[in-house]
Chains A and B, each alone.
Chain A
Amino acid sequence: MSDSDIMEFDVVIVGAGPAGLAAAIRIKQLAQSTSTEVSVCVLEKGTAVGAHILSGAVIDPRALSELIPDWKERGAPLNTIAAEDKFVFLTEKSSYRLPTPPQMNNHGNYIVSVGALCRWLGEQAEALGVEIYPGFPAARLLWDQSGSEILGVATGDAGIGRDGSKTDNYQPGMEIRARQTIFAEGCRGSLTKKLFEQLSLRANCDPQTYGIGIKELWEVDSPLFQPGTVMHTIGWPLDSGTYGGSFLYHLDQNKIAVGFVIGLDYSNPYLSPFDEFQRFKSHPKIRPMFQGGRRIGYGARALSEGGYQSIPQLAFAGGVLVGDCAGLLNVPKIKGTHTAMKSGMLAAEAIVDHFSKNNSDRTVSDYPKRLASSWVWDELYLARNIRPSFRAGLFGGLMYSAVDTYVLRGRAPWTFHNHADHLQLDRREKHTPISYPKPDGEITFDKMSSVALSNTNHERNQPVHLKLRDPAIAIDVNLQNYDAPEQRYCPAGVYEIVRNSSTGEPTLLINAENCVHCKTCDIKDPTQNIDWAVPEPGGGPIYPDM
Chain B
Amino acid sequence: MKILVCVKQIQDPEIAPGLFKVDEASNSVVAVPGIAQVISPYDEQAIEAALRIKEKTPEAKVVVITLGAASARDVLKHGLSMGADEAVLVEGPKNGSADGFVTASVLSEAIKKLAPFDLILTGRQSADLDAGVVACGLAELLGIPSVNFAKSVDVSDGNVVVDRVLDNGFEKIQVQLPALVTVSNEMGPARKPNLRETMKASRKPMQSWPQNDVNKDAGASQELIRLYVPIKEKHCEIIGGTSAGETAQMLVRKLRDGRLI
Residues of chain A touching chain B, judged by Cβ–Cβ distance below 8 Å, are 4-5, 7, 47-48, 50-51, 113, 115-116, 119, 131, 133, 135-136, 155, 158-159, 168-169, 171, 173-174, 294-296, 452-455, 457, 537-538, 542-546
Cross-chain pairs A/B with CB under 8 angstroms, 11 sampled: A48-B36, A135-B192, A296-B32, A452-B16, A453-B16, A542-B36, A543-B34, A544-B32, A544-B33, A544-B35, A545-B33
CB contacts (< 8 Å) of A455 on chain B: these are 12, 14-16, 19, 35
Alpha-carbon distance between A542 and B19 when the two chains are bound, in angstroms: 12
The distance from the CB of A454 to the nearest CB of chain B, in whole angstroms, is 8
Given A113-B34, A169-B189, A542:B15 Cβ within 8 A? yes
Q: Is the CB of A133 within 8 A of B198?
A: yes
Query: Is the beta-carbon distance between B196 and A174 smaller than 8 angstroms?
Result: yes
B199 CB-CB contact with A under 8 Å:
yes
Chain B neighbourhood of A115, CB < 8 A: 34
Which of B12, B189, B192, B199 makes the CB contact (< 8 A) with A542? B12
Q: Give Cα A388 to B171, complex, Å.
A: 71
Contacts beyond the supplied A116-B34, A133-B195: 20 A-B pairs with Cβ under 8 Å: A7-B196, A47-B36, A51-B36, A113-B34, A115-B34, A119-B34, A131-B199, A136-B195, A171-B191, A171-B192, A174-B194, A294-B18, A453-B16, A453-B18, A455-B16, A457-B14, A544-B15, A544-B32, A544-B34, A545-B33
What's the dominant secondary structure at chain B's contact region? loop
Residue of A nearest to B198 (CB): A133
Contact between B199 and A171, CB atoms less than 8 A apart: no
Shortest distance between the CB of B223 and any CB in chain A (Å): 31
Question: Which size bracket describes the interface of B in this complex?
Answer: 20 to 34
CA distance A158 to B189 in the complex (A): 13
Task: Kindly state the separation between the CA atoms of A113 and B194 in the bound complex, as whole angstroms.
Answer: 30
Once bound together, how far apart are the Cα atoms of A47 and B196, in whole Å? 16
Inter-chain CA distance A385–B191, complex, in Å, is: 52
Measured CA separation A159–B188 after assembly (Å)? 13
Assess whether A174 is in contact with B14, with CB atoms less than 8 Å apart. Answer: no
Q: How far is the CB of B172 from chain A (nearest CB, A)?
A: 22
B62 smallest CB distance to A (angstroms): 18
Distance of B204 from chain A, by nearest CB (Å): 14
Alpha-carbon gap, A543 to B34, bound state (A): 7
In angstroms, Cα B33 to Cα A115, docked, is 11
B12 contact set on A, CB distance < 8 A: 455, 542
Query: Which residues B22-61 have CB closer than 8 A to chain A?
Result: 32-36
A252 to B198, CA, bound (A): 36
Cβ distance A447 to chain B, nearest Cβ, rounded Å: 14
Cβ contact within 8 Å between A545 and B34? yes
CB distance from B189 to the nearest CB of A (A): 6
Is the Cβ of B35 less than 8 Å from the Cβ of A174?
A: no
Bound: A295/B18 CA distance, A: 9
Expressed in whole angstroms, the minimum distance between the Cβ of A405 and any Cβ of chain B is 36
Is B158's beta carbon under 8 Å from chain A? no
A465 to chain B, nearest CB (A): 16
Which A-B residue pairs are the 9 nearest by beta carbons?
A: A545-B34, A544-B34, A48-B36, A455-B15, A174-B195, A452-B16, A453-B16, A171-B194, A544-B35
| In the complex, B116 has a CB within 8 A of chain A | no
* Least Cβ–Cβ distance between B21 and chain A, in angstroms: 9
Contact B34 A136 (CB under 8 A): no
